[in-house]
Amino acid sequence: MSLKSERRGIHVDQSELLCKKGCGYYGNPAWQGFCSKCWREEYSKARQRQIQEDWELAERLQREEEAAYASSQGAPSLTFSKFEEKKTNETKRKVQTVKKFFSPSSRAAPKKADNQEAKASSPSINRQASLETEQASKDFIDFLKSLRKPGQDILKQCRGFIESMQHKKDLSIEEQSECVQDFYQNTVDRLQTHSSFKGSSERIEKLMDQIENYIMTRLYKNVFCPETTDDEKKDLAIQKRIRALHWVTLEMLCVPVNEEIPEVYELVVKAITAVIEMDSRRVPRDKLTCITKCSKQIFNAIKITKNEPASADDFLPTLIYIVLKANPPRLQSNIQYITRFCNPSRLMTGEDGYYFTNLCCAVAFIEKLDAQSLNLTQEDFDRYMSGQASPKKQDSEEWSPDTCPGLKQMYKNLNLISQLNERQQKLLSDAKQLEKDLIDWSEGVTKEVEDIIEKYPLDIKPRGQPVAAIDSDNVENDKLPPPIQPQMFVG
């Protein structure tokens, strides 16, 4: 079997990772194959169409209601002005964006108000403050001090945006994501026209990283895995799926990594640790950093094993293997959180975007993994998934002399555990059979006794008068000859 046929279920071309609209940026399965920019455009168009359809439906229903009311009451039809005014107000309230923070009125506010706003924040934010949020605020303010006047304006805008988001908890997570993405885009547009940042994309990117760190640290508790979404349900589903696939081996995925080499084994452990560490981070950029760190460890492990640079065809199967071994906590929630609230410039280009897209592809592959993807028969795949059997373990006698002792011991322990499990299952089976035999024997004996009693019933006569002593009526004991006369012994 050729290597190409072995990897038919895992191979992903570079073109498949790009936006399907052809803009040249990286796509994402969470965005239906679009990049963040194209996805927002498509989402905005779909949303506008939905609003227009709802509006037309409301107008039609209102006209029908007015006509029905006029025909039944004989009164002039009601006007549509009140309904239109109410619908317009509601639409304006829901479609608010952060553009108001960049209006001239906000820049012309008195300095005294700026100082008061800088010193006092919302009570709700203060209640949620923690060491991490306090540290993020301190780092952000220290960073902005070097910018002087522009830094004060940026701090004011960020705090105002956080205040506004505290009052938008009732919005859907998609609408909150849109507000954050609008804030990112408006901030970038404003910085590009500012004299201090004009023509300096590197400084703007560095500042946007600090803004993202400050904002998302404060909003993390409200927007990560909210109850209004099915993120938690997806987390449990993928976690259960990965647990069921614990038996998948390196050979099944065609992973070009040799864990027998101590250095490679150490890199694999570091990659697993990095992807698990992703859940402990609050900022989307920091979560991306963990994914990038994991991916680089994978590339190093492949390079040491093959003595040549790794290719994309080598990287993706290895990433799938790492995800299966790590089973990262809240995997889907972290992916959705990065997709919704990360600075789009990081997801569209660069190594962070490339590695994140591969992680999404790896998760999608795990969800759809079948017998054909692993070159197994359907019967073997079903047996492995149900736990009735497991792939054959490597015999300890086949190890090479320079193999890591810890790896040998691990497989030896796994063999012992497998044997103990078989013995335990046999003992449990024998114990259940013995219990059944004892119950059957007891019931059999009871039935035999009942049958005998029924066949030969007992005829028990009533007890008569007590039998008297043989010599009780003999009153002439003293006249008996000595041999027969009763003898009395004292003591």
Supply the mean pLDDT for the chain.
79
pLDDT of 199 reads 67
> Which residues, including other chains, have CB under 8 Å from residue 414's CB and lie 6 or more apart?
393
pLDDT in tens, 150-165: 888 899 999 999 999 9
Q: How far apart are CA 258 and CA 250, in angstroms?
A: 9
pLDDT in tens, 77-108: 444 455 455 555 555 544 444 344 344 444 44
- Other CB atoms closer than 10 Å to residue 283's CB: what's the count? 22
- Answer whether residue 4 shows pLDDT above 60: no
> Where does the pLDDT of residue 366 fall: very low under 50, low under 70, confident under 90, or very high at 90 and above?
very high
Encode 152-186: b = buried (16+ Cβ within 10 Å), e = exposed. bbbbbbbbebbebbbeeeebebeebbbbbbbbbbb
Whether the model clears a pTM of 0.85, i.e. scores above it, the answer is no
pLDDT of 104 reads 43
Q: How many residues does the chain have?
A: 491
Higher pLDDT pick, 211 / 121: 211
- Answer whether residue 232 shows pLDDT above 80: yes
Percent of the chain topping pLDDT 70: 70
Name the nearest CA neighbour of 175 among 9, 51, 303, 32.
51
